[in-house]
């Protein structure tokens, strides 16, 4: 009888304990699911133009590895194999095309974008007027029109950021404009940064120009001193730690403040 009581009690206790642990397991799983769901909602999205190669691809890799949802644009999405391989969402964009900018904004309608990196750029080394016009269209007007088209998406973010990839060759202080049309376009891009800052900082959008330094890419050449992967890591750090009072400024990829 005594034993039975003990059995009943231990049986009851083990049921209660079992029930408790199952309940605890279920509620822990529920909490984990809710946290994951919350994380998904809180997941930050970065859109990078010209992300199929060079610095853009390295930025995409670093942000993807850091847990961001990455939208990488390419002029030829079918050929952006490496970008697809890392799990980025690939969208078509030639930054000189108003139609394609409009189509991109339409595709992204209602979606939150936390960070826009205007990276696409060209560097024709000629003194040809048409080349210079094209350089201005890609390097200067591209970032301006893409940013304006995606402002509604950026405003959905708690902490929206626009990063314009500029260049030391566009610097007025210390620079000599020696790269011709490329220098002109990047100096003007820095004014695009000032313009976007003054138009949107009241709505919380942080807008900066960044000099990524001289990197080993098709544009930078094999002899460049910097590795794009290292530059991308530092840029990620800079972008993640930006404060509102840094908006409207020019920064080295590693966080050093630059003169215009």
Ligand X SMILES: NC(=O)c1ccc[n+]([C@@H]2O[C@H](COP(=O)([O-])OP(=O)(O)OC[C@H]3O[C@@H](n4cnc5c(N)ncnc54)[C@H](OP(=O)(O)O)[C@@H]3O)[C@@H](O)[C@H]2O)c1
Q: By the criterion CB under 6 A, which residues form the site for ligand X?
A: 49-50, 52-56, 75-76, 93-96, 119-123, 138, 165, 167, 212, 214-215, 217-220, 224
Q: Which is nearer to ligand X, 60 or 205 (CB)?
A: 60
Smallest distance from the beta carbon of 118 to ligand X, in angstroms? 8
Q: How far is CA 52 from CA 58, 90, 92, 130, 190, in A?
A: 9, 9, 11, 25, 24
SS3 72: strand
CB of 214 to ligand X, least distance (A): 4
Q: For ligand X, which is the closer residue by CB, 3 or 176?
A: 176
Question: What DSSP state is assigned to residue 79?
Answer: G
| CB-based contact 218:198 (threshold 8 Å) | no
Task: Give least dist CB 72 to ligand X, A.
Answer: 9
Alpha helices (runs of H) in the chain, residue ranges in sequence order? 2-42, 54-65, 81-85, 98-107, 129-136, 142-154, 181-200, 228-240
* CB of 77 vs ligand X, minimal distance in Å: 10
Give the nearer residue to ligand X in terms of CB position, either 120 or 208. Answer: 120
Structure-block tokens of residue 169? 């060759």
Q: To the nearest whole angstrom, how small is the minimum distance from the Cβ of residue 21 to ligand X?
A: 54
The residue among 120 and 205 lying less far from ligand X, judged by its C-beta, is: 120
DSSP for 5-68, written as a single string: HHHHHHHHHHHHHHHHHHHHHHHHHHHHHHHHHHHHHH--EEEESSTTSHHHHHHHHHHHHTT-
Residue 3 CB neighbour total at 10 angstroms: 7
The residue written with tokens 């699911």 in the block is: 33
Closer CB to ligand X, 215 or 247, in the complex: 215
Residue 217 C-beta: closest distance to ligand X, Å: 3
């Amino acid at each position: 009888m005594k034993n039975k009581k003990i059995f009943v009690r231990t049986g009851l206790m083990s049921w209660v304990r079992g029930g408790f642990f199952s309940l605890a397991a279920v509620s822990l799983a529920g909490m984990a699911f809710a946290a994951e769901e919350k994380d998904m909602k809180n997941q930050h999205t970065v859109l990078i133009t010209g992300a199929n190669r060079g610095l853009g691809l390295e930025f995409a890799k670093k942000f993807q590895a850091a847990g961001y949802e990455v939208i990488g644009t390419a002029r030829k999405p079918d050929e952006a194999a490496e970008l697809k391989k890392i799990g980025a969402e690939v969208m078509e964009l030639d930054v000189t095309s108003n139609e394609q900018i409009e189509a991109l904004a339409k595709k992204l309608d209602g979606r939150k974008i936390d960070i826009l990196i205007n990276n696409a750029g060209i560097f024709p080394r000629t003194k040809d007027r048409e080349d210079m016009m094209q350089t201005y269209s890609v390097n200067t007007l591209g970032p301006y029109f893409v940013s304006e088209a995606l402002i509604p998406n950026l405003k959905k973010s708690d902490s929206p950021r626009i990063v314009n990839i500029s260049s030391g060759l566009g610097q007025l202080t210390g620079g000599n404009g020696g790269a011709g049309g490329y220098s002109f376009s990047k100096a003007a891009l820095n004014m695009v940064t000032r313009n976007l800052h003054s138009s949107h900082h009241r709505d919380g959008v942080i807008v900066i120009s960044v000099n990524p330094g001289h990197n080993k890419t098709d544009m930078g050449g094999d002899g460049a001193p910097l590795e794009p992967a290292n530059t991308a890591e530092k840029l990620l750090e800079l972008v993640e730690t930006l404060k509102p009072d840094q908006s409207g400024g020019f920064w080295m990829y590693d966080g050093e403040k630059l003169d215009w």
